[in-house]
Amino acid sequence: MSISDLFKPLTLLHGPAMRNRFMLAPLTNQQSERDGTASEFDQAWIGQLSQGGYALIQTCATTVEAGGIAFDRQMGIHCEGHLPGLSRMAAAIRRGGGLSAVQLHHAGHRANPLLGGVPAPASGDTLPGVHALSTQQVERIRDSFIAAARRAELAGFDGVAVHGAFGWILSEFMSPHLNDRTDKYGGSVANRARLTLEVIEGIRRACGPDFQIGWRLSIERYGLRLEELREVTAEILDRELIDYLDLALWDSAQRVREGPFQGKTMLSVFTDLPRKGVRVGAAGKIMSAQRASQLLDEGCDFVLIGRAGILVRDFPLRVHADPMYDSPKLPVPAQYLRAGGLSERFINHMRGWPYFVEPGSA
């Protein structure tokens, strides 16, 4: 396919179509107020992105419960007080012509007590001295995801993206390594996937017919098993429970190292599944126009832009203007990011990522 295919609209099962194939990946940037309220810096970042040509912009991982927090200055959607700031963001994205989604997050066993987090492990063996969540507590967290989705809808977002990646609570429950429960949320694959499915189905029931649901999945680490995740994904696609699947790969070209799919690209293990009306996209080192367009050839309906979207706020527009567009080489000096409009809070967050900000640059 050619670069122009990246600019063809893409219908979703619910609500308005994506105007092109570019989605901003969820990007934590630690610049909210300490109670989770969106700050002026959050508004400025979203304001810049809203003019960047994206079809859909996901927010950073946003807490569905105060106790589910993982990061200092993480944005929240767990109380009514968060609504005004979120509404402003949703309105800015809509004015720019894009769709919007709040990424719904609970850190599970990795909730940070120093920030008011309450570690919530699936298993009593994960953290010394911390009991596994009771069945009722699991159901409360499920309901918090659903209540948060309702708040996103009230705030004017087009949808939510359910964070099922990176060992956070939904991926924790999916893992046979981190989940040894004997209730309905543990044991078989179907039971370990139950929390994810109940969250998604609960959101579908609680929100309006145009509300869009994305689901983010990562495959590696945390004891996750590729074949099991494929099985769960196949069901979610077959039942059309979501509007889009976001495959969180760190490298969209990576290959499976062992097992029945050894040698195949990780992406193809999922793009080969029948997807009915659900759209499938991937993240992972998509830094150039050419790579983005290759991914359509590899079976993606859309691409998620992460780090390339921090380097410039208007990656889709740059690709539109130049089919050979390539991101600046990493690492970049802090001043490059500052001049582009990133706040000091965001830049400091990025100093924690390897090979992004030039070490020692002021």
Ligand X SMILES: Cc1cc2nc3c(=O)[nH]c(=O)nc-3n(C[C@H](O)[C@H](O)[C@H](O)COP(=O)(O)O)c2cc1C
Footprint of ligand X on this chain (CB under 6 A)? Answer: 25-28, 60-61, 103, 163, 165, 216, 248, 250, 283-286, 305-308, 353
C-alpha–C-alpha distance, residues 182 and 134, integer Å: 11
Whole-number minimum distance, CB 182 to ligand X, in Å?
Answer: 30
CA-to-CA separations, 15 to 6, 10, 129, 158, in angstroms, rounded: 20, 11, 46, 7
Listed residue (240, 320, 346) closest to 20, CA to CA: 320
Place of tokens 């005004």: 84
Exposure string of 297-326, with b = 16+ CB inside 10 Å and e = fewer, is eebbbbbbbbbbbbbbbbbbbbbbeeeebe
| Of residues 255 and 285, the one with the C-beta less far from ligand X | 285
Q: Contact, 331 vs 358, CB < 8 A?
A: yes
Whole-number minimum distance, CB 209 to ligand X, in Å?
Answer: 26
| Of residues 60 and 83, the one with the C-beta less far from ligand X | 60
Helix residue spans in 220-343 (DSSP H): 226-238, 266-271, 289-297, 307-311, 315-321, 334-340
| Of residues 132 and 269, the one with the C-beta less far from ligand X | 269
| Of residues 61 and 241, the one with the C-beta less far from ligand X | 61
| Of residues 132 and 287, the one with the C-beta less far from ligand X | 287
Whole-number minimum distance, CB 285 to ligand X, in Å?
Answer: 4
| Of residues 132 and 295, the one with the C-beta less far from ligand X | 295
C-alpha–C-alpha distance, residues 251 and 257, integer Å: 14
C-alpha–C-alpha distance, residues 174 and 176, integer Å: 7
Whole-number minimum distance, CB 279 to ligand X, in Å?
Answer: 17
Whole-number minimum distance, CB 352 to ligand X, in Å?
Answer: 8
Exposure string of 30-69, with b = 16+ CB inside 10 Å and e = fewer, is bbbbeebbbbebbebbbbbbbbbbbbbbbbbbbbbbbbbb
Q: Report CA torsion sign: 246, 195, 169, 126.
A: negative
Whole-number minimum distance, CB 345 to ligand X, in Å?
Answer: 12
| Of residues 23 and 207, the one with the C-beta less far from ligand X | 23
Q: Which residue is nearest to ligand X (CB)?
A: 306
Whole-number minimum distance, CB 61 to ligand X, in Å?
Answer: 3
